[in-house]
Copies of this chain bind each other. A is one copy, B any other.
Amino acid sequence: IMAQTKNVTFRWRRCSSRQQMTKSHTQESLLSSASGYRNYRGILNWCVVMLVLSNARLFLENLLRYGVLVDPIQVISLFLNDPYSWPAACLVIVSNVFIVVALYTERQLSKGSFTELVGFLVHCINLAIILMFPGAVVLLVPSMTPVGGAFVLGTYTILFLKLYSYKDVNMWCRELSTAKAKKLARSLSYMYYFVFAPTLCYELNFPRSPKIRMSFLLRRLFEMVSQKNRWMIPVIQSSMKPLEDMDLSRMTERLLRLAVPNHLLWLMFFYWFFHSSMNFTAELLCFGDRQFYKDWWNAETVSYFWQNWNIPVHKWCLRHFYKPLLRKGFSKIVSQSAVFFLSAFFHEYLVSVPLRMFRLWAFMGMMAQLPLAWFVGRFLCGNYGNAAVWISIIIGQPFAVLMYVHDYYVLHHRQEAD
């Protein structure tokens, strides 16, 4: 028995020795571009951990020194100048009128009381008023603050895009079949579901998720609340400091100083709005389509970035602007430029009107994307293209912001001096 055991042990040992000798084979390092490896989920967690750690100390210091960071009166004063005049809130309430008008028009169209032409005209007038009326109020009412104005114009712009989509889809449906037309002008509750749903494109039947997952809802709520209060305020405060002692000759240095906090703020806003808030709303409404953004962080061309960072707007542009233009016989390049032009208009509208200052920086910033896209697409690819897109986001944005802040400062300084 001893001999047998020894023999088995020996054979097993030889076998495992052979296993030890398994040769390594030729292979690339993961970080080399040749390896084709792309799983960096951990790096995202690293960014979150670093942000939390870097801010934890700042937050604790501020809390110990100044108490609660968010002064409620200061926050309210961003929205209100005169506590007895609430122009922003009033405008938001008035917006219901336009929703009801759009629904009423479609009802009449589906019953046949309005002809197509009358319905089209009513819709056009309704949409035109949605854009111009709040703009006029923001410009003319003195008690409107810039933050309140931007909030109102944002709300009305979203409503404009939604009702435009509503009009288009109903028209397409009537073109397709009269049988479906009965279903078109659905109830008031479905209309309001669309208004609150995190999408800009109307559909007759939205995809629905089976039920509200409470844990998911609470996690998104926690993210929404914690980000708003704890992270954003210190970052805003620290980024405002270099702006107070503004000096034209040191513009470039300020730009570099502003770039990083401004960029972090934008990233946090992106996560807060496009992930936490929209998912929260969608979960609450059992709205199924959660594709609010795609993988823009891997963008290797400028156009890939613009097509993927804001999917609701991108879908709207594609469905209600780009494709209709193509159908009307315009070339691809003209249609693409037109989309950028429309986007540039809305960027300018949302910035200039609340600030009561027409400088075209936002407009030019958006239009500058066209030559940039050409340059990046022509000369850079792969990781270099991706780095170029990141640099354009990190540097380009604060440049436009700095322009507005500088002009706003000069304007108000001069007025005080007068």
Contact = CB atoms under 8 A, between A and B. Distances in A.
A237 interface: no
Given A42-B298, A43-B44, A289 B26 contact: yes
A50 interface: yes
A377 interface: no
Q: What is the total number of copies of this protein in its complex?
A: 2
B30 A293 contact: yes
B26 A394 contact: no
Contacts of A418: none
A332 interface: no
B27 A291 contact: yes
Contacts of A298: 39-42
Interface string A253-286: 1001101100000000001001100110000000
Interface string A339-377: 000000000000000000000000000000000000000
B394 A49 contact: yes
B279 A201 contact: no
A46 B392 CA distance: 12
Interface of A: 13-14, 16-18, 20-21, 23-32, 37-50, 53-54, 56-57, 169, 172-173, 175-176, 199, 201, 203, 205-209, 253, 256-257, 259-260, 271, 274-275, 278-279, 288-299, 315, 319, 323, 327, 383, 386-387, 390-391, 394
7 contacts: A23-B203, A26-B209, A29-B293, A42-B296, A43-B297, A53-B256, A53-B260
